[in-house]
């Protein structure tokens, strides 16, 4: 069976510390005031005194049916040999079609390169060397897991095997590779 890299986000474990955002910026040399991943707060929800908040990772969803790839006129946005959505900055002409097509607002124009940019799961820099993405290794709450979801021995697959998960905007048919687990979270 082919590999299918995925990331699991256990929302109840996220403390909103932004360590993942900082690790990503340093690992990938992301320019100031730009982000490949963020962890916004949602809430408060409920009625006083029973109010809660939660945090959720926002990043490229690594869609298996990615609208950003379909609209790219130069094929700068493409699937790599692992099925991951990547951007070849050398081919990017800055048309921003991919930014418009992404239903997750996960792309931005890199202020330094002038090319579209987004999360890559740190594939070339870390995953290809047998390491986990920077955000996963720095997550102090243990909210993030990563791996080949088709490999029952991977961290991600082990969690998914016994969890109810959701996809963001599943109704769009993009088939994302980020799995959100809301167990214990009041929304």
Amino acid 81: pLDDT = 95
Amino acid 187: pLDDT = 85
DSSP 166: B
CA 95, CA 37: separation in Å to the nearest integer? 22
Both structure tokens of 19: 């360590």
Segment 32-35 long-range contacts (CB within 8 Å, at least 24 positions apart): 32/111, 33/111, 34/108, 34/110, 34/111, 34/117, 35/108
Across the 187 residues of the chain, what is the mean pLDDT of every consecutive 10-residue run? Answer: 95 97 97 97 93 95 98 98 97 98 98 98 97 98 98 98 98 98 91
Three-state secondary-structure class, residue 68: helix
CB 181 within 8 A of CB 164: yes
Amino acid 37: pLDDT = 97
Amino acid 1: pLDDT = 81
CB 64 within 8 A of CB 58: no
What pTM value is reported for the model? 0.95
Residue 180's Cβ-count burial label (10 Å; 0-12, 13-18, 19+) is middle
Amino acid 43: pLDDT = 94
- Ordered structural domains, the chain, with CATH: 5-181 (3.30.70.20)
């Amino acid at each position: 069976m082919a590999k299918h890299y995925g990331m699991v986000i256990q929302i109840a474990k996220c403390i909103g510390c932004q360590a993942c955002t900082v690790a990503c910026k340093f690992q990938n040399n992301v320019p100031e005031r730009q982000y490949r991943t963020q962890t916004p707060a949602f809430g408060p929800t409920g009625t006083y005194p029973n109010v809660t908040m939660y945090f959720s990772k926002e990043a490229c969803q690594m869609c298996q049916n990615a609208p950003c790839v379909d609209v790219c006129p130069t094929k700068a946005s493409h699937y790599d040999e692992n099925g991951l959505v990547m951007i070849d900055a050398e081919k990017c002409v800055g048309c921003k079609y991919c930014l418009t097509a992404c239903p997750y607002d996960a792309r931005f124009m890199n202020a330094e390169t002038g090319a579209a940019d987004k999360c890559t799961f740190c594939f070339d820099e870390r995953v290809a060397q047998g390491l986990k993405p920077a955000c996963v290794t720095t997550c102090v709450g243990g909210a993030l897991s990563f791996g080949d979801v088709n490999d029952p021995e991977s961290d991600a697959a082990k969690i998914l095997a016994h969890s109810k998960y959701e996809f963001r905007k599943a109704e769009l048919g993009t088939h994302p590779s980020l799995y959100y687990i809301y167990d214990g979270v009041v929304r």
